[in-house]
Structure 1
Amino acid sequence: MKVYGVTISPNVRKVLAALEIKGLEYEQISVLPGTKTPEFLAISPRGFIPAFGDGDFHISDSSIIIEYIEAMHPETSLIPSNPQDRAKCRWLEEYAGSVLFPACAVVFQEVVLQPNFYKQKTDEARVATALNETLPPIFDYLEDQAPENGFFFGENIGLADISVVSPIINAEFGKFHIDDARWPKMAAMVKRIKAHPVFVKLLMEEEKTIMGIISGELVAS
């Protein structure tokens, strides 16, 4: 199996985490967002990352990729079997992708990528809006959903957990910190997820990329 994308993308990280949790072998092929080469568009028609290959089969979109992986390798399931929990898990994945991710992406884009990668000035007003207006109600909602202990659906890490934590990691690269007085359950759960061996491994591998961006060694061509 092959995953096309860069690890610092939340959606790529989400797919890699799923493969790691299941203990599956894969190859990661570095492809930057916005790549529009004919070869990549043949795999990912919209040019989005991640894209995924399993032999001659190719598909894109992190949710669909994980759905495929789950169907092909149901052992160590990432999705609860209880119908209500299963639906709630899918909802949290959707919420993380459509609501949480865009807000976290603003922080990462403006604080990390704009000054260090694109050599452009950070839009401080845009960052302030994300931090002070957009993200707080999102975390208020997630705080209501988060468990006191363990993960969203028990003692095993799963799809909801990796979907929610991945964009938060990018916001943290942009110096965002979860207020553990206001959102104690979320702050604790994010720490638990990041302490999971799968995320320890992935974040160690990402460190060189992030340091390369921050140091200016990696810039947009």
Structure 2
Amino acid sequence: MIKIHGLILSPFVRKVMAVAELKSIPYKNVKVFPGTRTAEFLSMSPLGKIPALEDGELRISDSAVICEYLDEKYTDTSIRPASVEARAQSRWFEVYGDSKLTELCIGGIYFERFAKKLLKLGDTDEEKVALTIEKLLPPQQDYLERVLPAEGFLLGDFGLADICVAGPFLSAAHVGYRPDAGRWPKLARFIEQVRKHEAMAELIDDEETLFNSLTK
């Protein structure tokens, strides 16, 4: 059985676990907090970042690398569409979610309102949060509102693109931020549909339980 090292509160750890769920791969989640620098963990993740994966003698890190490995090894269910064109689109959305949306939803909101306090890195920068919500995120949400379909997922069947794009918003929801459904109805519908997908629903429930236990 593979082992996924990391804490589900990280969208990158959740991403790998969701891929394992989507592909029906048995796995064990070994809880590792961000910032862990033990020799054992650094042997799996030299940069000290979560997630890391163990599969037999294999030790790899970085969520994109791990997801690619799982998709190539366990081929019954693909994380991307069939056509070359749609697979290219999927890779764009994966990078976009892991970079720009993570920068804003995680760095600008989730980290400030939750992770910063958890890691004892100071108080919430309310000006940064307000700037993110009022100025920086809306253009990205406008873009997603334009490209999202009226129904269903980004590229047909549920896949890695959906996990990567919705993931940062699902994390931000823990700390009270959700896109205005009146202004961005397709985006709000999409995020909720991803949340309810069978590969995601139980993970999000577990995540909320852990979040609540750490914020009491």
TM tier relative to shorter chain: over 0.9
SS of equivalent residue, structure 1 residue 197: coil
CA–CA distance in structure 2, aligned partners of residues 177 and 164 of structure 1? 14
Q: Which moved more, 1:89-98 or 1:109-118?
A: 109-118
The equivalent of 2:146 in structure 1 is 144
The equivalent of 1:219 in structure 2 is none
CA–CA distance in structure 2, aligned partners of residues 120 and 35 of structure 1? 19
Count, aligned residues: 214
Q: Could you list the runs of 5+ residues in structure 1 that have no partner in the other structure?
A: 216-221
The equivalent of 2:46 in structure 1 is 45
Quote the offset at 1:11 in angstroms. Answer: 0.3
Q: Which moved more, 1:104-113 or 1:66-75?
A: 104-113
SS of equivalent residue, structure 2 residue 59: strand
Contact kept in structure 2, 1:17 and 1:198, CA below 8 Å: yes
Q: Could you list the runs of 5+ residues in structure 2 that have no partner in the other structure?
A: none
The equivalent of 2:76 in structure 1 is 75
Contact kept in structure 2, 1:10 and 1:167, CA below 8 Å: yes
Identical counterparts, % of pairs: 38
For the pair 1:187 / 2:183, whether they are aligned, the reply is no
For the pair 1:113 / 2:115, whether they are aligned, the reply is yes
Quote the offset at 1:118 in angstroms. Answer: 2.7
Quote the offset at 1:115 in angstroms. Answer: 4.3
Quote the offset at 1:205 in angstroms. Answer: 1.2
Contact kept in structure 1, 2:80 and 2:159, CA below 8 Å: yes
The equivalent of 1:18 in structure 2 is 19
Quote the offset at 1:113 in angstroms. Answer: 2.9
Quote the offset at 1:114 in angstroms. Answer: 3.4
CA–CA distance in structure 2, aligned partners of residues 41 and 127 of structure 1? 32
For the pair 1:63 / 2:64, whether they are aligned, the reply is yes
Contact kept in structure 2, 1:2 and 1:26, CA below 8 Å: yes
CA–CA distance in structure 1, aligned partners of residues 118 and 67 of structure 2? 32
TM-score by length of 2: 0.95
- RMSD of aligned Cα (Å): 1.3
Quote the offset at 1:112 in angstroms. Answer: 2.0
Contact kept in structure 1, 2:169 and 2:178, CA below 8 Å: no
The equivalent of 1:33 in structure 2 is 34
TM-score by length of 1: 0.93
Quote the offset at 1:210 in angstroms. Answer: 0.5
SS of equivalent residue, structure 1 residue 58: strand
Contact kept in structure 2, 1:113 and 1:213, CA below 8 Å: no
CA–CA distance in structure 1, aligned partners of residues 62 and 123 of structure 2? 31
CA–CA distance in structure 2, aligned partners of residues 153 and 38 of structure 1? 41
Deviations, residues 62-86 of structure 1 (Å, cap 9, x unaligned): 1110000000011111111111110
Quote the offset at 1:203 in angstroms. Answer: 1.3
Contact kept in structure 2, 1:107 and 1:127, CA below 8 Å: yes
Quote the offset at 1:117 in angstroms. Answer: 5.7
SS of equivalent residue, structure 2 residue 199: helix
